[in-house]
Chains A and B, each alone.
Chain A
Amino acid sequence: AQSVTQLDSQVPVFEEAPVELRCNYSSSVSVYLFWYVQYPNQGLQLLLKYLSGSTLVESINGFEAEFNKSQTSFHLRKPSVHISDTAEYFCAVSDSKTSYDKVIFGPGTSLSVIP
């Protein structure tokens, strides 16, 4: 069975400062990895995903995450945050390439951007 750990439950950061949200996973097989963002009272939006190939993946709004197999990590980073980045961020894992496997979520990290 797979699991996801997000070590930081809350991360306050000043506007325009860099941020890193940490994610570690455990799985006995190869994985797909995801970062989702949830704004207050809304559903989830996919931020970025790692399926295969390049270990560094990027989103359209400046976030990036790097898959590190040896450290079983998939940390999310942004060099300069904006107020609009304030949200809940969930790291997630799926350990199969079929459509039948569930996505398991980490506990989430609440990012608060301070003006």
Chain B
Amino acid sequence: GAVVSQHPSWVICKSGTSVKIECRSLDFQATTMFWYRQFPKQSLMLMATSNEGSKATYEQGVEKDKFLINHASLTLSTLTVTSAHPEDSSFYICSARDTWGTEAFFGQGTRLTVV
């Protein structure tokens, strides 16, 4: 199956700094990628839909100025958590659907800890 690579797998940062997470589709082109957030013992909540060459579509309640999404190419989307605070600590997961759109492939996730 298709492979989605997410980097880094974990990151610790100081409060007030920004963190960038990369999501790459390794063997297919993804015009659309999705960013999810998962709190401990909870399900995945969709944050935004990332569209190549255009602005991301954010879900209700997600601050677009805090979670900046850039989808500059067909194989790369980035999520930048700006001015991170401890409450932003979470597990962030990206996904992309393959060319046929039948299945969503997920990255391995990034565990962000803000101290």
Q: Establish whether residues B107 and A32, one from each chain, have CB atoms under 8 Å apart when the complex forms.
A: no
Bound CA–CA A105/B6 (angstroms)? 20
Complex CA gap A51/B100 in Å reads 12
- Residues on B lying within 8 angstroms of A by beta carbon are 1, 6, 30-32, 34, 36, 41-44, 46, 49, 93, 95, 97-109, 111
Interchain CB contact under 8 A, A46 and B103: yes
B44 and A99 within 8 A (CB) = no
Contact with B along A86-115 (1 / 0, CB 8 A): 000010101011111111111110100000
Residues of A within 8 A of B (CB): 32, 34, 36, 41-46, 49, 51, 90, 92, 94, 96-108, 110
The 6 A-B residue pairs with the shortest CB-CB distance, nearest first, are A99-B101, A43-B108, A43-B109, A44-B106, A99-B97, A107-B43
Contact of A98 among B43, B44, B46, B101 (CB under 8 A): B101
> Chain B residues near A42 (CB, 8 Å)?
108-109
Contact B102 A103 (CB under 8 A): no
Given A42-B108, A43-B108, A43-B109, does the pair A102, B103 have CB atoms closer than 8 Å?
Answer: no
State which of B30, B93, B97 has its C-beta within 8 Å of the C-beta of A43: B93
Of all chain B residues, which has the CB nearest A92? B104
Partner among A34, A43, A104 whose Cβ is within 8 Å of the Cβ of B107: A43
Partner of A41, one of B34, B46, B111: B111
Instruction: Give B99's nearest chain A residue, CB to CB.
Output: A99
Shortest Cβ distance from residue B102 to the other chain A in the assembled complex, whole angstroms: 6
* Cα distance, A15 to B101, chains bound together (Å): 37
Instruction: Identify 5 new A-B residue pairs, CB closer than 8 A, beyond the known A32-B102, A43-B6.
Output: A43-B107, A43-B108, A44-B93, A97-B101, A100-B31
Residues of A within 8 A of B36 (CB): 105
Taking a contact as CB atoms under 8 Å apart, the answer to whether B107 and A105 are in contact is: no
Q: Which chain A positions have C-beta within 8 A of B103?
A: 34, 46, 49
B95 with A99: CB separation less than 8 A? no
CB closest chain-B residue, reference A44: B106
